[in-house]
Amino acid sequence: MKNLLFTSALCCGLLVAGLDTAALAQTGAPVTNQANGNLLNMSRLSSNHNTLMKAVKAAGLDDKARGTTKYTVFAPTDAAFNKLPSGKLDELLKPANKQQLAMLISYHVVSGSYLAANLKDGQTLTTAQGETLTVMRQGQSIMIKDAKGNTANVVNTDIVASNGIVQSIDAVLMPTK
């Protein structure tokens, strides 16, 4: 459990990595932000991931999100969290549900750096939480399917950080556990 929480903590820095979505929208190119190599510092740059930041803090993972291990994070936007059933987010953010929230966050993290070009249709990725995600491609569009069969569209790709890649998604992925 200690290793899972440590891994989740490291990964959560990527979850909240700064996403310069305005630059991405203007150029269509990958955005590289390496603010002092600390992904948690970079998180302050994103205006589309405030809810994720709140969740990382509530899970107690904000101060531990440092390191050099490479991860890919499928980071839900604020709009993604707004799609959750009424009351679900508030319930997860309660102190009594800290471990459940940490597990949900770690379900969005996979070991290794995966640029969009390296995500293949049908590819299965094992998350830090232990369950899998499946990559689905239709042309240039990339979707991630969770354990319950729901899909999230990758809306901003290849946000490169010092210890991995962030792929921003439009839905919160749900594990079965």
The yes-or-no verdict on residue 147 having pLDDT over 90 is yes
- Ramachandran angles phi, psi of 61, nearest 5°: -105, -5
**Cα 83–84–87 angle (5° rounding)?**
130
Q: Each residue of 91-135: pLDDT tens digit?
A: 999 999 999 999 999 999 999 999 999 999 999 999 999 999 999
pLDDT tens-digit series, residues 54-64:
898 898 877 65
Give residue 104's identity as a one-letter amino acid code: L
Q: What is the pLDDT of residues 40-91, one digit of tens each?
A: 545 555 778 889 888 988 988 776 556 677 888 899 999 999 999 999 999 9
pLDDT for the residue numbered 40 = 54
Per-residue DSSP letter, 13: H
Assess whether pLDDT exceeds 70 at residue 39: no
Residue 63 DSSP one-character state? T
Domains of the chain in sequence order:
2-169 (2.30.180.10)
CA geometry: angle at 85 spanning 136 and 129, to 5°?
50
66-165-44-23 Cα dihedral, nearest 10 degrees? 160
**CA separation for the pair 169, 110 (Å, rounded):** 14
